[in-house]
Structure 1
Amino acid sequence: MTYQTIRHERDERGVVRLTLARREKHNALSALMIGELTELAGRLGADQTVRAVILDAEGKSFCAGGDLEWMRQQFAADRPTRIAEATRLAMMFKALNEMPKPLIARVHGSAFGGGVGLISVCDAVVAERGAKFGLTETRLGLIPATISPYVVARIGEAKARPLFMSARIFGAEEAKTAGLVSVVANIDTLDAVVEAEVAFYLVAAPGAAGRAKRLARSLGSPITDAVIASTIEQLADTWETDEAQEGVAAFFERREPSWRS
């Protein structure tokens, strides 16, 4: 099957390289990309010949977060539409998180907002030393709601709180200390380190690896449909605040929001 926003290819080992392919948009998550990633996650998860998946990206950035046009549509939408779109995004993260295959991220450039969400649903994350990360939603008067269950599952509440609240940008070494990144590598050795990471999973029985992943998830805080729905309701509530309206408007008008003037 051909996709418009992503590419995928499988080698003779059964390792699939899944590539975000919106380089001109810094691989921001559009409505189309959300749908395509959800569909492909289901296909790869059901394919018994797939041994592992590498998630990478074209261009200068891994993923800049939400697509601007998609955000503009949410800004103008009513509450039910915002909830429906946030639910589609949540189901994408859920599909990737529950895919019964090792999922290894190769991160370069920047990963902001939803890009951090993508990293959080991976089983291992290899990042270039110069990569930058950020949960930047509060700069717009919003909250990182849809990705929050996966970020907290990965790094814990204590480490998530200041990153959620401050919206500050941080580097790869700090991301590793927080638990978001598994390995930091120089850009010229990044691919070799990713391959070394993949090799660990290829010695495991494929079915057992998938069951072990499900076991680990079952022992953590469960990310149930009720949890997902609660985060989406909180996001919908936040969209209706004066801060969100001001923050998003300021972003599109290329000015500082009122709280920074």
Structure 2
Amino acid sequence: MIEKKPQTLIVEFAHQVATVTLNRPEVRNAFNEAMIVELTTVFRELSERDDVRAVVLGANGKAFCAGADLNWMKQMAGYSDDDNHADALRLADMLRSIYRCGKPVIARVNGDVYAGGMGLICACDIVISVDTAHFCLSEARLGLIPATIAPYVIRALGERASRRYFATAEQFDCATALRLGFVSEAVTEDKLDDAVQQLAAILCSNGPRAVRACKQLVQDIAGREIDTALIEDTAVRIAQVRASAEGREGIASFLEKRAPAWRN
């Protein structure tokens, strides 16, 4: 159970899926200090819950997330260097809590995503978006840079596209996002919930420890040189999984033509 009820989020549970909904529609779900703290706390807790097999990150209203809240940005104008640094670290910690969550995270993108909101969906594992959504790394328009979100955006968008959209701050549509591989799937608004629910159900049908290990595997291996150390690393991982209770149950259920225990 979530220890303290969030004020900027709605957290719901159904069928082993946790849905975290950004709930500041009056400001296009722009995040402030409170939302950053609450997202960090919630995702850390969900990462450790055995009754949660997948997480959906969504938003209320017409936009997914407009980035930083205007009033919060006004406060930043008076921050000292130390204050700015501490604030940036809190944002970075929030993004890492989503990226490192031990459960697969699906971004349910219901509308436009700007600036820091791009970091949120890039920290997720899979992005399902309405086909009318627009995306923008708008920081350069304000004389800023998307530094804290950059590690996640570059991984999701790719280096070449990031060079362009970081510097130009151009808006791009969902068709472009899909072509670049930034969005996993684009659907019409009336199909969004079905698409998200179907994918979550697929994730929940697989071995929970295997899914967690798969997520970790990609994060650990992406970009590494294929050398002796990497080969040894992967050999150790599969050997450990084969010997695990879940691995043995999965193989046994396949051979015996029955459902594995985690689907019961």
TM-score (norm 2): 0.82
Match of 2:258 in 1: none
Counterpart pick for 1:119 among 111, 118, 121: 121
Cα distance between partner residues in 2 of 1:18 and 1:170 = 26
Deviates more, 1:28-37 or 1:171-180: 171-180
Cα distance between partner residues in 1 of 2:157 and 2:28 = 25
Counterpart pick for 2:108 among 99, 106, 109: 106
Q: Aligned residues: percent identity? A: 40
Letter matched to residue 120 of structure 2:
L
CA apart distance, 1:220: 2.3
CA apart distance, 1:49: 0.8
| RMSD of aligned Cα (Å) | 1.1
Cα distance between partner residues in 1 of 2:91 and 2:23 = 18
CA pair 82-221 structure 1, distance change in 2 beyond 3 A: farther
CA apart distance, 1:105: 0.8
Match of 2:51 in 1: 49
Counterpart pick for 2:6 among 3, 8, 11: 3
Counterpart pick for 2:91 among 89, 92, 111: 89
CA apart distance, 1:96: 0.5
Whether contact under 8 Å (1:153, 1:221) holds in the other structure is: no
Whether contact under 8 Å (1:153, 1:220) holds in the other structure is: no
1:169 paired with 2:171, answer: yes
Match of 2:232 in 1: none
Match of 1:23 in 2: 25
Cα distance between partner residues in 2 of 1:75 and 1:17 = 34
Q: What is the DSSP-based 3-state SS (H/G/I as helix, E as strand, rest coil) of the residue aligned with 1:76?
A: coil
After superposing on structure 2, the runs of 4+ consecutive aligned residues of structure 1 that deviate more than 6 Å are none
CA distances 1:27-78 after superposition (whole Å, capped 9, x unpaired): 1010000000000011000101101111110111100001111111212211
Whether contact under 8 Å (1:56, 1:106) holds in the other structure is: yes
CA apart distance, 1:177: 1.4
CA apart distance, 1:158: 1.0
Cα distance between partner residues in 1 of 2:179 and 2:86 = 35
Match of 1:34 in 2: 36
1:151 paired with 2:153, answer: yes
CA distances 1:154-213 after superposition (whole Å, capped 9, x unpaired): 122112110111001111111111221100000111111111221221121111111111
Q: What is the DSSP-based 3-state SS (H/G/I as helix, E as strand, rest coil) of the residue aligned with 1:70?
A: helix
For this pair of structures, how many residues does the alignment match? 221
More RCO (CA 8 Å, sep 6+)? 1
1:189 paired with 2:176, answer: no
Cα distance between partner residues in 2 of 1:152 and 1:16 = 27
Match of 1:63 in 2: 65
Whether contact under 8 Å (2:16, 2:204) holds in the other structure is: no
Unaligned runs of 5+ in 2: 225-264
CA apart distance, 1:221: 5.0
Whether contact under 8 Å (1:119, 1:180) holds in the other structure is: no
